[in-house]
Amino acid sequence: MSYTRVLLISMLGCLSVTLAHAQYRDELIYGLQFGANYSYADDITTTIIPEPYFTDYKARNKWLPGINVGGFVNLRGTEAPAIAGHAEVSFSTQGGKMIFYNNQTDFNYELKFISASITTDLLVKFYPGENGQNNWKNFNIGTGVEINAVTSHDNIKYKSWNSLEAFGSDLEQQRQLRNVLKARTSYGIVVNIGYECSNTTSIFHIPFPVTFDFRYVLGLRDVLETYPNSYNFIDNYNNGHCFQFKLGYFFPRKS
């Protein structure tokens, strides 16, 4: 059994134990959330340009902005330091970007691959603050797994800015590239820092039940698949990274 499978099973088991432990003395919140993604895929430049075909050029991997919107459930024990099981399902866009400049032939382009996916996050959160009137009791740190089930595999965007068309129009290139490069379903490890603002306790004095989460996701699987092609692209390992910010609104607690 691979390391990644062991990790996924371990995290799911930990979440199950947490939920079972919390069911007799718990605080349940659920709600909606939305936010922004900032994602990156390793070595796109190596996939596209495996050999130095050009002499005077620059190729750079870039970060790509995206969105996330969905819902969450958080089941938290009441004893300090509290532990919670946290689950999310959301629509998310992630991917990567490459920019190419060739100063010798005036051939320049931008290539984006944007994978739309149904994303599931399963986390275990720890609340180190004490219960009572301490406003820091809703601060939490967490870890877990994220699974991105891709729903749009061939969303490739190609844009060039050249004095002349080098290999046909941008639309023609984009259509051909969509047959060669495909986004893959992926998963990764999540590290999360969050805070829950209630009507009565909040260091930010916000009179609404909202949540803030900032997380980093380290991918554990190649996010881009390369099919046989005439471009000399290679099937390279493109690991994913993603920073996420999520703002949530939760409904009244049930205990």
Query: CA 160, 165, 166, 172: dihedral to nearest 10 degrees?
Result: 70
Q: What is the per-residue pLDDT for 24?
A: 43
Domain count, the chain: 1
Q: Do the domain assignments include residue 255?
A: no
- pLDDT, position 9: 56
Q: Which of 191, 192, 206, 245 is nearest to 69 (CA)?
A: 245
Question: 254: which 2 tokens?
Answer: 């049930």
Spatial separation of the C-alpha atoms in residues 171 and 255, rounded to whole Å: 56
Q: Is 146 part of any domain?
A: yes
H-type alpha helices, 28-169:
44-48
Residue 37 forms part of a structural domain = yes
Instruction: Write out pLDDT tens, residues 68-121.
Output: 999 999 998 877 778 999 999 999 999 999 999 987 777 899 999 999 999 999
DSSP letters spanning 96-132: EEEEEEETTTTEEEEEEEEEEEEEEEEEEEEE-S-SS
**Sign (positive/negative) of CA torsion 169, 170, 175, 180?**
positive
Q: Please check whether residue 26 lies inside any domain of the structure.
A: yes
- pTM, whole model, 2 decimals? 0.84
Helix intervals (H) in the chain: 3-22, 44-48, 170-178
Q: Does some domain include residue 253?
A: no
**Is residue 74 in some structural domain?**
yes
| Residue 91 belongs to a domain | yes
Task: Kindly state whether residue 254 falls inside one of the protein's structural domains.
Answer: no
Cα 79 to Cα 11, 66, 85, 129, 189, distances in angstroms: 22, 37, 14, 10, 27
- Over the stretch 42-69, which tens digit does the pLDDT of each residue have? 999 999 998 877 778 899 999 999 999 9
Average pLDDT over residues 189-200: 87
> Looking at 46-50, 87-91, 130-134, 207-211, which range is the least confident one?
130-134
What single-letter amino acid sits at 189?
Answer: I
- End-to-end Cα distance, the chain: 40
Between CA 74 and CA 31 the distance in angstroms is 9
Q: Is 169 helix (H, G, I), strand (E, B) or coil?
A: coil
Range of the domain at 93: 3-124+131-247
Q: Which one, of 93, 120, 117, 118, lies nearest residue 12 by Cα?
A: 120
Calculate the average pLDDT of the chain: 85
Q: What is the DSSP letter of 48?
A: H
Which residues contact residue 16 at a Cβ distance below 8 angstroms, ignoring those fewer than 6 apart?
A: none
Give 133 or 160, the one with higher predicted confidence: 160
Is residue 41 within 8 A of residue 61, CB to CB? The reply is: yes
